[in-house]
Amino acid sequence: MTLGVCVKGLNAVYFKLPYDLWHEFLPQLLMLVSLIGFMNALIITKWMTDWSGKESQAPSVVAIMINMVLNFGEVPEADAGKFLPLIPAQAYVCKALLLLVMICPPWMLLAKPLLLKRDHELKNVARDKRGGDIELIESAKDVSQQSDDMEESMNYDRTELMRLQRDAVPSINHDGESKSLLGGGRMKKEHIEKES
């Protein structure tokens, strides 16, 4: 999971997307490290601690993670004397990480859309100040010029087509009649042979 989140961060840097970097990648990474990273740190700490003579007081990583969410990091009174804390100031660390985890989803869901909305509104204000979309006005002029050019070209093509129909080279069909290639009138085969 960490690799996927880090690749997302690298993409945001490469494609120069600051909103994705600061308002998607960063909260996702903080949330991932706060939950999964903390749990991994607890597992490694438990493995590296010598519990000989106090095996019954070794804390449960699952219980710590559940208490982190359900009891806001506090160890329930029923289990208070049963387990030793795994890290110093464990309750405070759990509370801080849980607060961080609770802040990340609203950060991811609200910050980027609000910033994009603000940018859109600023662009609209700037466009209104300069008198509209200059690009659209220029492109409308270009389209108008292109349509005029196309109309002139079509007029030329019509007159050229009429000239070609009039001057078309005839071809002979199976009936012995001649028909121009572009749909002109019919001529008898003998008439064509006389001309040639």
Q: How do residues 38-89 score in pLDDT, each as one tens digit?
A: 999 999 999 998 888 888 888 888 888 988 888 887 766 656 656 777 888 8
DSSP string, 121-161: HHHHHHHHHTTS-HHHHHHHHHHHHHHHHHHHHHHHHHHHH
* CA atoms of 138 and 134, how far apart (whole Å): 6
Give residue-wise pLDDT tens across range 137-190. 666 666 667 766 666 666 655 666 666 666 665 555 555 555 544 444 444 445
pLDDT for 63:
84
Under DSSP, is residue 39 helix (H, G, I), strand (E, B) or coil? helix
In terms of average pLDDT, the best of 104-113, 124-133, 136-145, 166-175 is 104-113
- CB contact at 8 A, 30 and 104: yes
Segment (H or E) for 171: strand 170-172
